[in-house]
Structure 1
Amino acid sequence: MKKLIPLALAALGTAMPAMAQTQQEQPAAKPADKVMPQVTISGGRQDDMTERRNSTAGKQIFGREELDRNGDSNIGDVLKRLPGVTLGGRAGRGGEVRMRGLGNGYTQVLVNGERPPAGFSMESLSPDQVERIEVMRGPVAEHSTRAIAGTINIVLRDGYQMHDLVVKASDRLEQGRHSPELTLTAPGKSGALSYTLSASLSYGRQHDSALVHNMETDALGGLLKEQFLDSDSAGNAKGLHLAPRFSYKFENGDTLNFQTFLMRQKTSGDAQTNLAQPVGSQPPEYNFARQSTGGDVTFLRGFGNWVHRLQGASKLDVKFGFGFGKRDSDSLRYQYDSQGALLDRFTDTDDTRDKSVNTGGKYTSPLGAGHLLAAGWELEASHREQVRVSLDKDGKSQFADSGDNLTADTRRAALFAQDEWEITPQWSAYAGARWEGIRTTSDRSAASVSNTSKVFSPLLHAVWKIPGYEKDQVRASLTKSYKSPNVQDLIAAPYLSRLNSATSPDRTGNPNLKPELATGLDLAYEHYLGRSGIVSVSGFVRDIDNLIRRDLSQQQTDLGLRWVSSPANIGHARTSGVELEAKFALSELMDNAPQIDFRSNYSRFWSNVDGIPGPDNRLDQQAKQTANLGMDYRWKDIPLTLGASYNWTPAIRTRTSDQQIVESSRKRVLDMYALWRFDGRTQIRISANNLLADDATGYTLVNANGIASQAATLNPTYTQWSVRLETKF
């Protein structure tokens, strides 16, 4: 860790000579220097760094250069290298996207500015289907403010920026298992209609294993129970992704855009578990288990908007969309004793259907000198139907609502207004406000559940360009944001743990949850280097009320006395942090320097939850630190580029309550690639991901009722090798 901080500081020091020279550069751009007419004619947009620099509300842009850099197979692998972004779960297996170390839904993920359908995963989205990624650390009024940690907006590929048919064929190799993928992107134009057809077909195979050591001890340290579980699983997934986009320009200048995203995936797998219990007053539930699973998932989401030009520079942008999700899964599990006799058989099926429709709009207009006013609305309705059946070998239901229909309806409405004001050439400000209301209702077992939340979020952002240093600026933001309970936390059907214990409880929902409310302050200093370089230092504070945590207790159920985990609002928390970023091309800072691009970022986080004794009473799963280092080297004499990136997150220890402590091991991920360009149209990329292949370990301790329950887990990770051939026609 001590080596990372000097590296970041050295990057900052590199910028100082460039700062000293800025006084000799041209003054701030005059009206004659503007290139807006060119942008309008060509249909282009500002480059990534220029757009970031000119945005009043802090926004980082990562375009095709970053998306293509390492030949990643999914968007999750791209996100893990971005400043302040981490992934939960094991290396090489993806996981929940997190900003500022905050998991559990604090980070808002959007696709084309809209929330994706339920069950959507970053691992299902190929980088070839994405035009750019926008990372916003503070909320803005035109997007939902359900973004306490920040917002990641994934913009799917636009057609107007492409001119060639692109074909990519790749194969990933892990533990001798091949996972091929074929991607096709075809742009076209017919009169006023332009379109892009993007599709990918994949077949993935993987193998996993896990070791679990469970222990229960009394108050004197006497061993009451000890178990060893050795699990092994293998499976495959077949996937088809389609993302066509259409754009039609009318004679009056209006534009109609429509884009769909379709994902179809079928999975199957087999697993087996050996359970040994050398100590225990009662025999284990089983000694050997064998399980087969299957799944069929389809997601369809449509996005559309109509842009109508009004008098002057005013315009009306009306959005519309729909979503459909179908998830069918089944599991058949056999449990045997030590002699191989069948003890029980469990059949689990889950059929879930999600439907949604939404509309919205935004009116924008210049208002006075330097003002750009925007106001709009959003309406969304969604409906879920779920049928879960869980039966043992005698046909007995495993929970009270097994086989019943669970229906849930969510209605969301929002109004917003914002004003971007260029006060002077040095000062820009943004003032916005958003009201959002969400109502969730559900019927299950003749009982109705209703939950309503309403949140008003005022938002302020400001940028000051330092006089005499046109490449330096300071940002500040004061915002209100929130995190609403998801449908699963409100009305979830019970999830049963086969080896129920304090460290492996059943999970249920809580219909009385309130949204978490956060007040946030952000400050940042940015210095821009060359065409695409930046050095920045930023800090933030989030003050959170109505914090949601899962409460652990023993409850009497249809299956007897069991440990159950359910979410609850527990009170107040605060988190803060400092984030450093340095990104630059060496050739732009030094004469005759090699073509080397550097990328680095380091983050340090603090948090405290009231009502839970310390130490380690942190927000759930938040690491204290995280860092990324990366480098790309392009040879001058041969068409070869080499690159590497390193992601580091230290071990995390969190006291989640006065009863429970949870730990997870450090994560070190080293990725490398080599890119050979045969010509301007064909290239081949060879990548190696997770070269260190560290084991992922975890530990949970629960002290309750005079018994200490412990669970230690070990999950191996594996190196993935991949090769990708890309050609344009």
Structure 2
Amino acid sequence: DEDETSLTYNELPRGDFDEFEIQAERIKQKTYALDLDGEFDAGPGTLGLDLSWSRYKEDTKTSVDVGEEADFSDRELDEYVDLDIKDTEWGAGAFYKFKAAAADLKFGVDFLKKTRDGSEVEFDIDDGVVGDPDPAPGAVYTVEERRIDPYVRLTLEPNDMWTFDAGLRYETAKRDVTSDLGKVSKDSDELNPSLHATFKPTDVDQFRASVARTVRRPDFDLLAPYLAEEEPIDDDDLRGNPALDNETAWGLDVGYERRLGARGVVGINFFYRDIKDLIELVATSEVSSSGLGRVYEPRNVGSGKTWGVELDFSTPLDVVGLPNTGLFFNYTWLDSEVKDPFTGKNRPFTNQPSYVYNIGFVHTVPTWNASFGASLYDRDMGFETGLDEDVTVDYDPDLEAFVEKRFGDRYVVRLAAMNLLDKEKRETYRTYDGDSVDEILANRAAGKINDSERESERSGVLYQVTFRAAF
């Protein structure tokens, strides 16, 4: 259950009360999964088979009541929306592997079929009562994706210090998005090679290098061919794009890792990605249904690249007499570059920070069969852009803590508290005016800001209790 109450006043500091809006979401989500796999001796090698099935179902009902009295006495139903999603995934695979001297060879094929039956339907409201469904164009839709991916992998270990791993995967996919707006079909086939090398000069030191081509497929939420209100944030709308292409990238990684004692490790990794058909949410010039935001649309904005450095550290504190306390820290510095589809100038990826870090500890109490810990996460501000606006997004740090109690070998109860610092998100909007696209872009280039707005959003602590059992 998620409830939100918005109170609007005529002026700041708080003046006369204007109106209220109460939004109630009743969310039901279920996930099922079944997996079956096995390996069997066959000739000189091993034959492997696997089958999988999973389903995700969501039924979310949202009602909005409005009124103009501060005591909510005139509360009246204004909106009712029913979101219904059913995702089903079937998978199957077969492989054969065998070993010869210092080489391992594996080849096989994977099959995958993913479908979604989705709808987000708004109902008519008759005198405060839910009436007939009134679906918007494209709001009732299906997505189907079918993949066949043959592959081969060769692993070489010429000695105790070197390991080489080479792979080649041919990924083919067919995708159909169907609604009352028509049918959009996409076919793709990508040949994805990879090569990895590991060098271990000592028992505690390890160097790694890899180059690989990868594929990122659009999330089904981005393909849904209708206008979803209050996405990606409250005042905006999101229109899906069933014509999205897959995002592909060539990646290079080089890293070093050193063991610290029996359980500790410290490492550094350098990465670079050259991306084609980058997928981003683009703010169009169209005003959202609320009249306060923009309509966003996922698009392939062209080619881009990103690079950075990752630092990782994790170790128990044996050296200071605390073997049951583990400390961890990771920090990533990153940068990126893509040509903006509106201005034609290079900019970072949408809302990508220049750094992200996470630091924390975990302490185990063996006599109580329990543990507790905390972690602090923070990131740099991000940048978003549209045809007629620039947006900077800034976040406060996020502090989480937990305590966990184990009962025997099978049962665990965990209490977690998230957002202990009541973090705030701040967005600064700068809007540029004009009677045409050329005039808007000219005002942007000249820095002539028509309007500036600052929004802040703060949320409280979230508590979560989890019970886990293994059978």
Relative to the length of structure 1, the TM-score reads 0.54
- Kindly indicate whether the alpha-carbon contact (under 8 Å) linking 2:392 and 2:427 is maintained by their aligned counterparts in 1: yes
Which of 300, 303, 315 is residue 584 of structure 1 equivalent to?
A: 315
* 2:460 corresponds to: 717
Q: Secondary structure at the match of 1:488?
A: helix
Alignment correspondent of 1:411: 146
Query: In the alignment, does 2:134 pair up with 1:401?
Result: no
Tell me, in whole angstroms, the C-alpha distance in 2 between the residues paired with 1:383 and 1:685.
35
What is the deviation of 1:556? 9.0
Q: Deviations over 1:202-257 (max 9, x none)?
A: xxxxxxxxxxxxxxxxxxxxxxxxxxxxxxxxx3xxxxxxxxxxxxxxxxxxxxxx
Pairwise CA distance, 1:608: 2.2
Match of 2:37 among 305, 326, 333: 305
Equivalences for residues 496-511 of structure 1 within 5 A: 496-497=229-230, 504-511=235-242
Deviation at 1:344, TM superposition (A): 6.4
Q: 1:579 to 1:614 in 2, by over 3 A?
A: farther
Aligned twin of 1:695: 423
CA contact (8 A) 1:430 1:462 kept: yes
Q: 1:601 aligned to 2:330?
A: yes
Q: Which residue of the other structure, out of 493, 508, 518, is the alignment partner of 2:249?
A: 518
Q: Indicate how the Cα distance of structure 1 residues 644 and 486 shifts in structure 2: closer, same or farther if over 3 A, else same.
A: closer
Structure 1 residue 657, shift from structure 2 partner:
4.1
Q: What letter is aligned with 1:443?
A: T
Deviations 1:625-651 (A, max 9, x none): 233333455679x66876533323134
Partner Cα distance (1:355, 1:635) in 2 = 42
1:618 aligns with 2:348: yes
Extract unaligned runs of 5+ from structure 2: 435-449
1:423 is the counterpart of 2:151: no
Counterpart residue identity of residue 597, structure 1 = G
Q: CA deviation at 1:728?
A: 11
Out of 598-607 and 450-459, give the one that drifted further: 598-607
CA drift of 1:370 comes to 0.8
- Deviation of 1:460 (Å): 0.6
Query: CA 1:440–1:723 in structure 2 vs 1: closer, same or farther (change >3 Å)?
Result: closer
**Cα deviations by residue, 1:450-492 (Å, 9 ceiling, x for unpaired):** 12222221101000111xx232121000111121122222233
Deviates most, 697-706 or 554-563:
554-563
SS at match of 1:393: strand
> 2:20: which partner in 1?
288
Question: Displacement of 1:349 after TM fit?
Answer: 1.4
Following the alignment from structure 2 to structure 1, what is the Cα–Cα distance between the partners of residues 288 and 465?
Answer: 49
Give the aligned residue type for 1:607. S
Report the Cα offset of residue 343 of structure 1. Answer: 7.4
1:663 to 393, 397, 418: 393
Q: Write the distance in 1 (CA, Å) between the matches of 2:102 and 2:412.
A: 48
Q: CA-to-partner distance for each residue in 1:427-458, whole Å, 9 max, x for gaps?
A: 11000011112221122116111122222211
Matched residue type, 2:455: A
Amino acid at match of 2:64: R
From the superposition, tell whether residues 624 and 666 of structure 1 become closer, same or farther in structure 2 (CA, over 3 Å): farther
- State whether residues 628 and 645 of structure 1, in contact with CA within 8 Å, keep that contact through their aligned partners in structure 2: no
Cα distance in 2 for residues equivalent to 1:698 and 1:560: 20
Q: Deviations over 1:66-96 (max 9, x none)?
A: xxxxxxxxxxxxxxxxxxxxxxxxxxxxxxx
What residue in structure 1 maps to residue 447 of structure 2? none
SS in 1 for 2:110: strand
In 1, Cα distance between the equivalents of 2:413 and 2:242?
A: 50
Verify the 8 A CA contact 1:315 1:365 in the aligned structure 2.
yes
State the distance in 1 between where 2:411 and 2:111 align: 45
| 1-structure distance, mates of 2:219, 2:469 | 43
Contact 1:399–1:494 (8 Å) recurs in 2: no
Q: Which moved more, 1:316-325 or 1:389-398?
A: 389-398
What is the CA-CA distance between 1:709 and the residue it aligns to? 5.7
**SS at 2:227 equivalent:** coil
Alignment-derived partner of residue 267 in structure 2: 536
d(CA) in 2 for partners of 1:551, 1:686: 40
Deviation at 1:424, TM superposition (A): 2.2
* Maintained 8 Å contact 1:323/1:355: yes
- Among the aligned pairs, what percent are the same residue? 22
CA RMSD of superposed structures (Å): 3.9
User: How far, CA to CA, are the matches of 1:444 and 1:665 in structure 2?
Assistant: 38
Partner of 2:439: none
Contact 1:399 1:558 (C-alpha < 8 Å) held by counterparts: no
Aligned residue type for 1:308: F
Segments of structure 1 that go 5 or more residues without pairing to the other structure are 1-234, 236-268
CA distance 1:557–1:465, shift in 2 (3 Å): closer
- Determine if the alignment matches structure 1 residue 652 to structure 2 residue 381: yes
2:230–2:236: 8 Å Cα contact kept in structure 1?
Answer: yes
Cα gap change, 1:338 to 1:392, in 2 (>3 Å): farther
State the shift of 1:287 in Å: 1.7
Mean alpha-carbon deviation: is it higher for 507-516 or for 289-298?
289-298
Aligned residue among 298, 303, 311 for 1:567: 298
Alpha-carbon offset, residue 384 of structure 1? 2.2
Aligned partner of 2:228 among 495, 511, 535:
495
CA 1:578–1:560: 2 relative to 1, 3 Å? closer
1:343/1:708 Cα in 2 relative to 1: closer, same or farther (>3 Å)? farther
Distance, in Å, in 2 between the alignment partners of 1:577 and 1:438 is 31
**What TM-score, normalized to structure 2?**
0.81
CA gap of 1:342–1:465, structure 2 versus 1, over 3 A, is: closer
- Give, in whole Å, the separation in 2 of the partners of 1:618 and 1:435: 31
Where does residue 459 of structure 1 map in the other structure? 194
C-alpha deviation, 1:315, in angstroms: 0.9
Query: Is contact 1:337–1:343 with CA below 8 Å preserved after alignment?
Result: no
Deviation at 1:527, TM superposition (A): 1.4
Amino acid at match of 2:34: G
Separation of aligned partners in 2, 1:474 and 1:301? 37
Q: Secondary structure at the match of 1:275?
A: strand
Paired amino acid for 1:376: G
1:324 matched to 2:67? The reply is no
Q: Which residue of 1 aligns with 2:446?
A: none
Distance 1:506 1:639, change over 3 A: closer
Choose between structure 1 and 2: higher strand proportion: 2
- Counterpart CA distance in 2 for 1:490 and 1:452 is 14
In structure 1, the partner of 2:443 is none
AA of the residue aligned to 1:568: R
What amino acid maps onto 2:217 in structure 1?
S
Shift of 1:685: 7.8
Which whole-Å CA distance do the structure 2 matches of 1:520 and 1:690 have between them?
34
Offset, 1:375: 1.0
SS of aligned partner of 1:623: coil
C-alpha contact (below 8 Å) 1:617/1:656 kept by paired residues: no
| Structure 2 partner of 1:359 | 92
Q: Compare relative contact order (CA 8 Å, sep 6+) and give the higher one, 1 or 2.
A: 1
